[in-house]
Amino acid sequence: MSGESIYEFSAQDTKGNETSMADYQGKVLLIVNTASKCGFTPQFEGLQALHDQLGEQGFEVLGFPCNQFMNQDPGSDDAISQFCSLNYGVNFPMFAKIEVNGEGTHPLFRFLKKEAKGLMGSEKVKWNFTKFLVNREGQVVRRYAPTAKPADIRADIEKLL
C-alpha cells in the first residue's frame, strides 16, 4: 500500500463547493459511483440503511454519480440529488457527477482504482455501484463489485469500526 491516502483529494459537492476528503478523516468510508437509472439503483436504500445504522460509530457513505455506463445518470447534479433524496431518503453526502474511467477520470477514483484493483488486476470500474471501502486512516481496504449488496459489506465495515 502506498503512503498516500484519500485525504490528499477533494471533490465538488452537488452545489459546486470543493470538499476535501480530509473532512472525513478518522471515519470509515464506503465510496460508491452511483446512478439514478440503473438496475442497481435500489442499492441506495441499503447504502442509506448502513449510513443510518453505523453513522454514529464513525461510518459514512460518499456517493459519486457517474453517467459513463449507458447514460444511466443523465440529470443535473441538482436533479440527481433530489432523486436520491425523494426516492431513497438519501442524506449521506452526494458529490457532483464525475468520470470514473478514461481520460477524464476523477483523481480520487484514479487513486481508489490503483489501490484496490478489480478482477484479474483490472483498474477499470466495470459498472455503476462499484464500492470502495476505506479505513479510518484513509487507506483503501477493498473494492466490491456492483452486485455486492450493501448489507453483505456490513461485517467488513464493522471490523474497521
Q: What are phi and psi of 22, to 5 degrees?
A: -65, -20
pLDDT value of position 3: 58
What's the CA gap between 2 and 127, in Å, rounded?
A: 26
Q: What are phi and psi of 77, to 5 degrees?
A: -55, -40
Enclosing H/E stretch for 19 = strand 18-20
- Number of H helices and E strands in the chain, helices first, is 4, 6
38 assigned to active site:
yes
pLDDT value of position 118: 86
- Residues with Cβ within 8 Å of 36's Cβ and at least 6 positions away in sequence, in order, are 65, 72, 73, 75, 80, 83, 84
Quick one: DSSP state of residue 17?
Answer: -
pLDDT value of position 92: 97
| Domains delineated in the chain | 6-160 (3.40.30.10)
pLDDT value of position 1: 43
pLDDT value of position 4: 86
Given 38, 90, 116, 141, the catalytic residue: 38
Q: What pTM does this model have?
A: 0.95
Averaged in consecutive runs of 10 residues, what is the pLDDT profile of the chain (161 residues)?
81 94 98 96 97 97 97 94 93 97 97 92 94 98 97 98 97
